[in-house]
Amino acid sequence: MAFGNIAPTATGRQFKVTNELRRFESHQPPLPEVLRMVVPKALIFITELVNNRLGRHDTELDPHEMDASAVMPMASWVLAELIRFCSPNTNRDVATASIQELTAKIVPFFEVIEGRTYIHNGHELKAEEVALLLLYHAYPGRVAYDELVKAVKRHGIAQSSAYAGISKLKNFVDANDDGWVLRGGGRQKAEVLLAELKSKTTTTSQSE
């Protein structure tokens, strides 16, 4: 699709994301509404929320988790909308499958009740996986070893299995007297697992 020439973006200190996105509104010749208004406004919302809330809280309540719950679905929606807009020139089945995966309802994987963290369907995971995700959720904070064992056991896992599973993570954590915290490799391992769980959740929701 040809939409005419778009002037080069600003560079260095002159570059402002919101300014560049707003240029689409007055582009000549006029762009389709999806590119002129809808997607830019969504991206401006994401940019403003991410940039302007970091470190500047208006109350003592940390908004990061709340903001992430708004930004992540919005970012997925933007990608899905762009795929939909471009789909006439692509494989329709592939485009449809991509849109469904991007916009599928995301089930929260973590629940915190009075300081106790639970993992969605944690009873179906191995002890090692439960411990890994609990440490990932707590990052960058540390979790005391005894508390980690108790947290794993709360997911219906026997104490002996909890100890065995946690011991498999020793090469992925930094441990001191205050507890365990995941290192980079551990966080990557957890993110791969979360992606697999998300994929399974998406497949299940689509089949229903």
pLDDT at position 53, please? Answer: 67
Distance CA 92, CA 48 (A): 33
Give residue 70's pLDDT: 81
pLDDT digits (tens, 9 = 90+) for 152-167: 999 999 999 999 999 9
Rounded to 5 degrees, what angle do the CA atoms 192, 174, 185 make? 25
pLDDT-derived band at 145 (thresholds 50, 70, 90) equals very high
Given a cut of 50, whether residue 73 has pLDDT beyond it is: yes
Query: Please, which pLDDT band fits residue 8 given cuts at 50, 70 and 90?
Result: low
| Alpha helices, DSSP H, located in the chain | 17-22, 33, 39-53, 64-86, 92-103, 127-138, 145-153, 159-167, 184-207
Higher pLDDT pick, 134 / 194: 134
Q: What is the pLDDT of residue 85?
A: 84
Tally of CB atoms within 10 A around 20: 16
pLDDT at 156: 94
Say yes or no to pLDDT of 132 above 90: yes
Q: pTM for the full model?
A: 0.54
Query: 């309540």: which residue's tokens?
Result: 61
Q: Which domains does the chain have, with CATH numbers?
A: 12-103 (no CATH), 110-207 (1.10.10.10)
Q: Locate all alpha helices (DSSP H) within 54-88, ordered by sequence.
A: 64-86
Q: How far is CA 75 from CA 87, 170, 208, in A?
A: 18, 35, 25
**Which range has highest mean pLDDT (1-5, 26-30, 53-57, 141-145)?**
141-145
Q: Any idea what DSSP says for residue 162?
A: H
Phi then psi dihedrals of residue 194, to 5 deg: -60, -40
